[in-house]
Amino acid sequence: MNLYGGQGNKLIEELEALPGIGTKSAQRLAFHLIGMPTEKVERIANTMIEARRNVRYCSKCCTLTDREVCPVCADPKRDQSVIMVVETPRDLAAYEKTGRYTGVYHVLHGAISPMLGIGPGDIKLKELITRLEGDVKEVIIATNSSLEGETTAMYISKLVKPTGIKVTRIASGVPVGGDLEYIDEVTLLRALEGRVEL
């Protein structure tokens, strides 16, 4: 329905296409942007364009960064021999909020889901296996407690165990079907500290 003219409707439609943004939120954002000074809108637009052009995968852990190697992987204080495998950069951020994990990460950018046609070749598993050729002592599997997350965890465990590297899975405390990015730091910390070997 064309309530606001072509440009207003187009802006609402583009915003509504973003994840987690419904029609009402898209309208609120559109009206807010239209009411802002032009310079501020241009700054937001330019920041989005620059981020899209410059943000890429870390060459080590595959998280998103604007550098060759992300700040976590580049930190000399981090234990490079312990790798926590997570599904998304948001999951990495959730664990970083605990302030207690001192290892490094590997971001899969998804989980194995035969129902959705996502197989092992569609996520960053090859990159993980390549990293295991280095001096790695433990792989902590911190995928979500969903069917896809559990499938991915078992697949990784079967790949890693023959190498002799210790494989652990985060403990319960993370609710089944819950996404890590929405879980509080205390629950995440308990899950990390109570992890078990697979």
Asked if 139 and 168 sit in the same domain, the reply is: yes
Residues 77 and 36 in one domain: no
Mean pLDDT, rounded, of the chain: 89
CATH number for the domain that contains residue 17: 1.10.8.420
- Indicate if 160 and 193 belong to the same structural domain: yes
Residues 80 and 144 both lie in one domain: yes
Percent residues over pLDDT 90 in the chain? 72
Which range marks the domain in which residue 31 is found?
Answer: 5-54
Instruction: Answer yes or no: do 155 and 183 share one domain.
Output: yes
Domain count, the chain: 2
Last residue of a domain, one of 18, 35, 54: 54
Asked if residue 83 has pLDDT above 90, the reply is yes
Q: Is the per-residue pLDDT at 154 higher than 70?
A: yes
Whole-number pLDDT of residue 123: 95
Average pLDDT, integer, range 9-30? 92
- As a whole number, mean pLDDT of residues 181-198 equals 74
Specify whether 47 is located in the same domain as 77.
no
Q: Once rounded to an integer, what is the mean pLDDT over residues 88-98?
A: 93
Q: pLDDT category, 5, cuts 50, 70, 90?
A: low
Token match 């950018």: residue?
109
Mean pLDDT of the region 3-28: 87
162-190 residues labelled b (16+ CB within 10 A) or e (exposed): eeeeebbbbeebbeeeebbbebeeebbbb
Domain identity same for 24 and 79: no
Residue with tokens 């890693």: 160
Residue 42: pLDDT over 90? yes
Are 97 and 159 in a shared domain? yes
Residue 195 in this model has a pLDDT that exceeds 70: yes
Same domain for 180 and 83? yes
119 and 157 fall within a common domain: yes
Q: What is the mean pLDDT of residues 101-110?
A: 96
Domain shared by 185 and 89, yes or no: yes
Q: What is the pLDDT of residue 184?
A: 73
DSSP type of residue 74: H
